[in-house]
Amino acid sequence: MRRRIQWLSTKRAFVSGVALLSFLVVTSSTWALVRGGNGPTDATWERIHRDDTLVVGIDPSFPPFGIFGEDHVEGLDADLAQALAEKMGVAHVRLVVLGYDGLYDTLALGFVDVLISALHPEARRKGVVLYTKPYFDAGQVFVGHSDTPLPEDFDGLTDVTLAVELGSEGDSQARQWLEDFGQPPFELQRLMASEDAMQAILAGQADWALVDAISARLFIKDHPELVVSSIPLLSDPYVMAVRRSDWRLYLELSQALDALRRSGQLYEIIARWL
């Protein structure tokens, strides 16, 4: 019995020792990773601070996110890149003009540090890139008169006319939702463009419109009598992308984006262009 007690005590001590050792290894590795000690390094982040320059890949053919100005690229994404660099303590931003199809290849080859170009996250690329949280959601939103509360979903539409862009995600979802009813609770008006759907509200031909957030925000700039729902019914997030190995840059970008969101500067940039 005494030998068994001694063996159990030895086993418990061994297990406790292994657990403590594992904890110390994980803790020290995490500390090294965060502090840049003996853990993995991020060569891209080191180069950014050495050159004091953030190199950004952008497609300037998608206004108002990317636009060719008189002698430079401008737009929401360009302004966001500059604001992020300032938050990260980087003095300069160099925008590399790319076609949308060449964005990921250029990032993979190391010619740019980050892609800020109205990107949709793609599941098939998550093995090689890291996506940040969304900085804008271009999903489908309700538009209506400012003196009437906006619906939150299709359940809030009864005995009204909803205008949509033919073939849009809003059109597809509305038709799918209506299939469950023998007697449709609302009339669906399918028009050729999102602008036509919102114009139908002004003409008294529709009560609400369901269109993408970009078209909606641009339209109401000239029509302040209309408002846009703040939360999309159908989400379409825009994110930034870095190489999966650039963990430190990813962390810095994420923290900078959170800081811009908390301070309200992100919304100021969005409002400037949308």
- pLDDT tens, residue by residue, 1-46: 433 333 334 444 444 444 444 444 334 434 444 444 445 789 999 9
Mean pLDDT, range 254-267, rounded to an integer:
98
Mean pLDDT, range 219-239, rounded to an integer:
95
**In 3-state terms, what secondary structure has residue 35?**
helix
| pLDDT tens per residue across span 175-184 | 999 998 888 9
Going from the C-alpha of 246 to that of each of 51, 101, 113, 122, 135, the distances in angstroms are 16, 22, 9, 18, 20
Question: 140-228 has which CATH code?
Answer: 3.40.190.10
Domain ranges in the chain are 1-40, 43-137+237-273, 140-228
Confidence grade of residue 47 (pLDDT, cut at 50, 70, 90): very high
43-137+237-273 and 140-228: identical CATH topology: yes
Confidence grade of residue 71 (pLDDT, cut at 50, 70, 90): confident
| pLDDT tens per residue across span 235-257 | 999 999 999 999 999 999 999 99
| pLDDT in the model for residue 182 | 82
- CATH H-level superfamily of 43-137+237-273: Periplasmic binding protein-like II (3.40.190.10)
**Above 80 in pLDDT, residue 125?**
yes
The CB density around residue 170, as the number of other CB atoms within 10 Å, is: 27
Going from the C-alpha of 82 to that of each of 14, 54, 130, 134, 192, the distances in angstroms are 54, 9, 20, 17, 37
Angle between helices 76-87 and 265-273 (to 10 degrees): 160
Mean pLDDT, range 67-71, rounded to an integer:
86
